[in-house]
């Protein structure tokens, strides 16, 4: 089932990129045809101060849209902080250090030497919670995270 979904996803990406390439080619050829006649007459008929104002407005819009895109990217990016052998997000939830997926299966072994560990469902690795090579429980680790 996953292979079929993967094939569908890649096929859609290839088709969309092909359609985009065709549109870019058509737009380029239309620009070449229009620039010789239509755009030349518009540029000659439009006063230079108006063209300068349009250029300034377009430049400001591009800069603002770039800044806005960067702001939303940085705001929505998950920031994971390494501590106690795992990665933590701002809600004090643990993530696997290798595949960066949330850790859900937590085990505590109290008899004998205490062992506190997560089992990553993505890569199957046992990840022990340690604080300077000493075992630390999940509750204590979450308390110590700022």
Same domain, 137 and 117: yes
Same domain, 92 and 137: yes
Same domain, 59 and 93: no
Which pLDDT value is given to residue 75? 82
Same domain, 95 and 138: yes
Strand partners, 108: 116
Domain-ending residue, one of 77, 94, 122: 77
Same domain, 56 and 90: no
Which pLDDT value is given to residue 63? 95
What's the whole-model pTM score? 0.49
Over the stretch 124-140, which tens digit does the pLDDT of each residue have?
888 888 888 888 888 88
Tell me the average confidence (pLDDT) per consecutive run of 10 residues in the chain, 146 residues long.
76 88 88 76 86 92 94 82 86 85 82 83 84 83 81
Q: How many domains does the chain have?
A: 3
Which pLDDT value is given to residue 92? 85
Which pLDDT value is given to residue 125? 83
Which pLDDT value is given to residue 114? 83
> CB atoms < 10 A from the CB of 86, how many?
23
Same domain, 89 and 138: yes
Q: What domain range includes position 104?
A: 81-144
DSSP per-residue string spanning 73-141 = HHHHSPP-EEETTEEE-TT--EE-TTT--B--EEEEE-SSS-EEEEE-TTT--EEE-EETTEE--HHHH
* Distance of alpha carbon 117 from alpha carbon 90, whole angstroms: 20
Over the stretch 104-118, which tens digit does the pLDDT of each residue have?
888 888 777 888 888
Same domain, 103 and 130: yes
């Amino acid at each position: 089932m996953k292979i079929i979904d993967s094939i569908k996803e890649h096929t859609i990406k290839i088709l969309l990129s092909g359609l985009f390439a065709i549109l870019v080619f058509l737009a380029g050829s239309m620009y070449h045809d229009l620039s010789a006649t239509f755009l030349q007459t518009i540029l000659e008929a439009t006063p230079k101060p108006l063209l300068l104002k349009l250029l300034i407005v377009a430049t400001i819009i591009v800069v603002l849209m770039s800044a806005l895109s960067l702001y939303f990217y940085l705001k929505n990016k998950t920031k994971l902080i390494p501590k106690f052998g795992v990665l933590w997000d701002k809600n004090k939830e643990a993530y696997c250090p290798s595949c960066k997926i949330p850790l859900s299966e937590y085990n505590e072994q109290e008899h004998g030497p205490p062992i506190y560990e997560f089992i990553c469902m993505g890569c199957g690795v046992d990840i022990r919670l340690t604080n300077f090579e000493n075992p630390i429980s999940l509750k204590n680790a979450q308390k110590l995270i700022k």
